[in-house]
């Protein structure tokens, strides 16, 4: 959908101002169902779009995302707009500069329309609802962002993911969401600050309606900014250039302690078939060590209460987890797994167990994308595609195949 609107603007069929106005209206309609908006400034967005229209008249669509509207999670700074993290004591915080990713999208011609609510329920934001069923959870912590995109109110969202905070809400709300390889996209301007030493799991990434749209945006976000010390100068490959022929694809091994729901399990099988039908080679299932990933993560979450020796052991266990899973995947290019145990549950507090399938890629730093499947008008189902480090292009290319209508049709049969 993003590509379609980008191209319509580039052809002059729709002005930037018309596109921003249309998507601002759609977002307000989705907000009425979901409470996804933390703050929006339509006049400011329309003024920015009007400037781009003036540029278009003089020079044409010289920018890669000329006039494309986007939204930003309320943990990521936008110049002049509130960035509160959903906390009352930060209600007056207005950063004076953009996060690197926001600045890069603006420089590419995109226009900020709104900030979105964080968490399923926060002090300032209140309760966010799932766009497909208001009685169900949208997932956290990129709750408003996933609800906005999955509900059809935003073409593109910028969010963050530590243990699954992009992928899980994307799965429950029906969007494509990528946690990039650790060290690919700058986290400069994330609030609260995150970095590779303070929290090496946390990454900023895009949410859109499809993996193809995410693939268009990722190269614009990636690369060192001279501020974030954890970045590596690695180029992003083009997902369109990835050939599935010969890719070695594994399914996540069933785990008796963490059985996926029947719908999700069937979706993973359908995804594997869709990829192998296009020339990929099926290899042995991979044990993602879900219980160990949850244990290491729970100790990480409680590290302020650990002794020095316990912190040291947690880091050693984390390092060994990364090493052992990397060794186990030596002959694997892609792992296809559930994103979550099941479809969106009725509203309830989030639990660590909700993220059990997203934790392994967070601990290893590998790229992982939720590919949304919609079928029979039911709730969205998320399938997770995990690739080797720096092969975000492979993850997105496979996800684009997984989310095709033919894959959902296969699931319905």
Which of the four CATH numbers 1.10.3720.10, 1.20.140.10, 3.40.50.1970, 3.90.1300.10 does domain 240-412 have? 3.90.1300.10
CA dist., res. 296 & res. 88, Å (int): 31
67 dihedral zone (left: phi>0; alpha: psi -120 to 50; beta): left
Which H helix or E strand runs over 118? none
Q: What is the DSSP annotation of 64-107?
A: TTTT-EEEEETTB--TTS---TT-GGGTT---SS--HHHHHHHH
- Tally of CA atoms within 13 A in the half-sphere of 158 that contains its CB: 35
Helix axes 405-412, 262-276, angle to 10 degrees: 130
CA-to-CA dists, residue 281 to 51, 124, 284, 326, 359, angstroms: 50, 49, 10, 19, 25
Nearest to 16 by CA among 82, 96, 80, 106: 106
| Whether 365 contacts 322, CB under 8 Å | yes
- Could you tell me the residue ranges of all domains in the chain? 2-232, 240-412
> What percentage of the chain carries pLDDT values higher than 70?
97
Is the predicted pLDDT of residue 406 greater than 90, yes or no?
A: no
Q: How many other β-carbons are positioned within 10 Å of the β-carbon of residue 311?
A: 15
Express each pLDDT in 337-352 by its tens digit.
999 999 999 999 999 9
Nearest to 45 by CA among 114, 105, 93: 114
**Helix or strand or coil: residue 252?**
strand
CA-to-CA dists, residue 176 to 40, 67, 150, 395, 399, angstroms: 23, 21, 8, 12, 9
Q: Let me know if domain 2-232 sits in CATH 3.40.640.10.
A: no
Q: What is the mean pLDDT of the chain?
A: 95
- Of 62-71, 180-189, 276-285, 400-409, the poorest mean pLDDT is in 400-409
CA-to-CA dists, residue 186 to 213, 221, 225, 370, angstroms: 20, 8, 7, 21
Q: What length is written for the chain?
A: 413
Q: How many other β-carbons are positioned within 10 Å of the β-carbon of residue 328?
A: 15
- 218-223 long-range contacts (CB < 8 A, ≥24 apart) are 218/178, 218/180, 218/185, 218/392, 218/396, 220/64, 220/65, 220/104, 220/105, 220/108, 221/101, 221/104, 221/105, 221/158, 221/180, 221/185, 222/180, 222/184, 222/185, 223/184, 223/186
The verdict on whether omega for the bond into residue 192 sits within 30 degrees of 0, i.e. cis, is yes
User: Which of 15, 122, 137, 141 is an active site residue?
Assistant: 141
Q: What is the DSSP letter of 133?
A: B
User: Which of 137, 160, 165, 202 is an active site residue?
Assistant: 165
The encoded tokens of residue 93 equal: 């915080």
| Whether 184 contacts 366, CB under 8 Å | no
Is the predicted pLDDT of residue 411 greater than 70, yes or no?
A: no
Provide the pLDDT confidence category of residue 361 given band limits of 50, 70 and 90.
very high
Catalytic residue flag (residue 115): no
User: Which of 73, 106, 115, 179 is an active site residue?
Assistant: 73
**pLDDT number for residue 277:** 96
Express each pLDDT in 286-339 by its tens digit.
999 999 999 999 999 999 999 999 999 999 999 999 999 999 999 999 999 999
User: Of residues 112 and 373, which shows the higher confidence score?
Assistant: 112
Provide the pLDDT confidence category of residue 378 given band limits of 50, 70 and 90.
confident
CA dist., res. 81 & res. 93, Å (int): 8
Express each pLDDT in 193-249 by its tens digit.
999 988 889 999 999 999 999 999 999 999 999 999 999 999 999 999 999 999 999
CA-to-CA dists, residue 166 to 124, 222, 238, 307, 323, angstroms: 20, 17, 22, 31, 25
**pLDDT number for residue 377:** 62
Q: How many other β-carbons are positioned within 10 Å of the β-carbon of residue 90?
A: 16
Domains 2-232 and 240-412 share a fold: yes
| Whether 227 contacts 97, CB under 8 Å | no
Express each pLDDT in 153-164 by its tens digit.
999 999 999 999
Catalytic residue flag (residue 73): yes
CA dist., res. 76 & res. 190, Å (int): 5
Q: How many helices (H) and strands (E) does the chain have?
A: 13, 13
CA-to-CA dists, residue 227 to 76, 93, 95, 218, 245, angstroms: 16, 22, 17, 19, 39
What does residue 172 show for φ and ψ, rounded to 5 degrees?
-75, -25
Express each pLDDT in 64-88 by its tens digit.
999 999 999 999 999 999 999 889 9
Q: Which residues contact 277 (CB under 8 A, 6 or more apart)?
A: none
**pLDDT number for residue 61:** 82
The encoded tokens of residue 169 equal: 């809400």
Q: What is the DSSP letter of 153?
A: S
Catalytic residue flag (residue 362): no
Which H helix or E strand runs over 338? strand 334-338
Average pLDDT score over residue span 114-129: 95
| Whether 154 contacts 113, CB under 8 Å | yes
**pLDDT number for residue 60:** 83
């Amino acid at each position: 959908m993003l590509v379609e609107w980008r191209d319509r603007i580039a052809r002059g069929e729709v002005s930037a101002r018309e596109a921003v106005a249309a998507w601002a209206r759609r977002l307000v309609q989705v907000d009425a169902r979901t409470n996804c908006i933390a703050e929006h400034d339509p006049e400011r967005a329309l003024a920015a779009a009007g400037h781009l229209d003036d540029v278009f008249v003089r020079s044409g669509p010289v920018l890669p995302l000329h006039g494309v509207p986007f939204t930003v999670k309320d943990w990521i700074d936008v110049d002049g707009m509130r960035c509160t993290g959903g906390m009352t004591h930060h209600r007056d915080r207005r950063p004076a500069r953009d996060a690197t990713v926001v600045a890069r999208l603006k420089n590419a011609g995109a226009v900020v329309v709104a900030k979105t609510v964080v968490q399923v329920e926060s002090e300032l934001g209140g309760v966010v609802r799932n766009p497909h069923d208001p009685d169900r959870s949208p997932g956290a912590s990129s709750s408003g962002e996933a609800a906005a995109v999955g509900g059809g109110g935003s073409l593109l969202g910028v969010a963050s993911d530590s243990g699954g905070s992009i992928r899980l809400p994307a799965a429950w709300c029906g969007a494509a969401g990528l946690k990039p390889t650790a060290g690919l996209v700058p986290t400069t301007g994330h609030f609260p600050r995150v970095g590779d030493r303070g929290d090496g799991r946390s990454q900023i990434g895009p949410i859109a309606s499809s993996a193809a749209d995410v693939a268009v945006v990722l190269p614009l976000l990636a690369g060192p900014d001279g501020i974030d010390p954890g970045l590596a100068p690695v180029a992003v490959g083009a997902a369109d250039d990835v050939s599935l022929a010969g890719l070695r694809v594994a399914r996540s091994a069933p785990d008796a302690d963490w059985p996926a729901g029947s719908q999700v399990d069937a979706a993973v099988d359908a995804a594997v078939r869709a990829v192998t039908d296009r020339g990929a080679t099926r290899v042995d299932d991979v044990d993602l060590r879900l219980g160990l990933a949850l244990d290491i993560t729970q100790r990480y979450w409680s590290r302020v209460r650990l002794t020095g020796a316990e912190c040291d052991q947690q880091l050693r266990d984390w390092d060994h987890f990364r090493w052992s899973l990397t060794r186990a995947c030596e002959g694997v290019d892609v792992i296809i797994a559930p994103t979550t145990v099941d479809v969106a549950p009725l509203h309830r507090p989030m639990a660590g167990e909700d993220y059990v399938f997203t934790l392994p890629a967070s601990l290893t730093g590998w790229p992982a994308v939720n590919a949304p499947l919609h079928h029979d008008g039911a709730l969205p189902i998320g399938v997770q595609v995990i690739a080797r480090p720096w092969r975000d292009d492979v993850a997105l290319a496979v996800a684009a195949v997984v989310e095709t209508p033919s894959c959902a049709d296969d699931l319905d049969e």
